Amino acid sequence: MSDFDHGKALAATATPIPGLVVLDLPVPGDNRGWFKENWQREKMLPLGVPDFGPVQNNISFNDAAGTTRGIHAEPWDKYVSVAAGRIFGAWVDLRDGATFGAVFTAEIDPSRAVFVPRGVGNAYQTLEAGTAYTYLVNDHWSPDATYTFLNLADETVAIDWPIALDSVEISAKDRAHPRLADVTPMGPRRTLVLGAGGQLGRALREVLPDAEFADRAAFDLTDPAAWSSRRWRDYGTIVNAAAYTAVDRAETPEGRAAAWAVNVTAVAELARVATANGITLVHVSSDYVFDGSRDPHREDEPLAPLGVYGQTKAAGDALVSTVPRHYLVRTSWVIGDGANFVRTMASLAERGVDPSVVDDQVGRLTFAEDLAAGIAHLLATGAPFGTYHLSNSGEPASWAAIAKRVFALVGADPERVTGVTTEAYFAGKAAAPRPLRSTLDLGKLAATGFVPRDQLDALEAHLRR
């Protein structure tokens, strides 16, 4: 058998470079040779190796000892090992951040492997003739991708190569790569916010300042050409704040088609893109996926939408739930920058109009800045993927009770607001059915460390602004 440790147990060890992981691999053998599971997803994920979704397996055969290949950082993850021989491996963090320039080196034989995250430079020097270096990658080479390189002889990182660089085989390109001081660090995968012109989209600008924001003019979800307009591997997160929300119009033939196009067909494309490219998909849904028969609504409640809008949102929920990395965020009664219920009630109060407002629909307001902050919290903390309910907290109230509160806060008599039933309010009108109970259970969200403001406190702050 070959001269290395065949009796190792599968184990993973962290390194000084964040995300760079060294794995010890069992390599049983006998007089015939040896066998190993070089990549074994089911066993390695519990050790903390990311589920990086490799799409290509490459082998680099090196005829002579001392062959040295340069420090290359690509915009994808790699999993490297050797099938035969030995290497001296060197890794340099070339990502933008506090660990830029950090170095890790190790000798690798068939019983070891290294997971190399995106943006970490990877190089090796063969220590034996006939070395076969193998690597799995989770993207294909592209002329449109961004690559980063570092000179093998850089004095700053000062890699202690076992064989002097002036006496080994190195390509002319690798000899010409820049020193660390001249390297442009590789930035992180980008965040894309769709629906940037809406109430939530505008609020997300405050909590995700480095994201790319696209309104409908920049990215029309219903345009097939939009989906081929970007190199999706460059994105790490998509926040879908776009939706068709004209609840009553969705009940018309034209509205039904438009609602399904945005809330279902486009979401199916988002789910496909996110799954294929390892993207975290944040999708905002609605209390309208429920029939309002339970109070409060939990994340695992069976969906039972009453109208077309709710049906399209429920269908979108089902699609998003198939994405491996997803946050499905259901919310209710959103109030933000723009036309909304609170602004309407304040205007009526100031103009001397005495409104009739439904008093049998009960729930909580969700202020857009709290919804945005909750989404940012889930992303920043790496909360477990899945479905979360997110509204403001506090005692549930009816629309009429909220209207009365608005009147009082702007100095008007709250008794000017008259409560009516939903049936009476919509009598003789073409309207979609509404859930009468919209209160969302916030316990799962609170367990991640995020508790939104009380809705009445948030309402008062909103009106002060």
Q: Is the peptide bond before 110 cis (omega within 30 degrees of 0)?
A: no
Cα 57 to Cα 82, 400, 422: the distances in Å are: 12, 62, 61
Looking at this protein, which amino acid is placed at residue 360?
D
H or E segment at 334?
strand 334-335
Whether residue 135 lies in the annotated active site: yes
**CA pair distance 261, 268, nearest whole angstrom:** 10
H-type alpha helices, 195-265: 199-207, 253-260
Q: Is 233 in contact with 139 (CB distance < 8 Å)?
A: yes
Phi, psi of 53 (to 5 degrees): 65, 60
State the DSSP code for 388. E
Cα 162 to Cα 40, 128, 157, 410, 465: the distances in Å are: 31, 12, 15, 76, 66
Catalytic residue among 79, 133, 135, 309: 135
Q: Is 116 in contact with 104 (CB distance < 8 Å)?
A: no
Dump the DSSP string for 252-291: SHHHHHHHHIIIIIHHHHHHHHHHHHT-EEEEEEEGGGS-
Provide the terminal-to-terminal Cα distance of the chain, rounded to the nearest Å. Answer: 76
Residue that is written with structure tokens 């970490």 in the block? 120
Whether residue 72 lies in the annotated active site: yes
Supply the residues annotated as catalytic: 72, 135
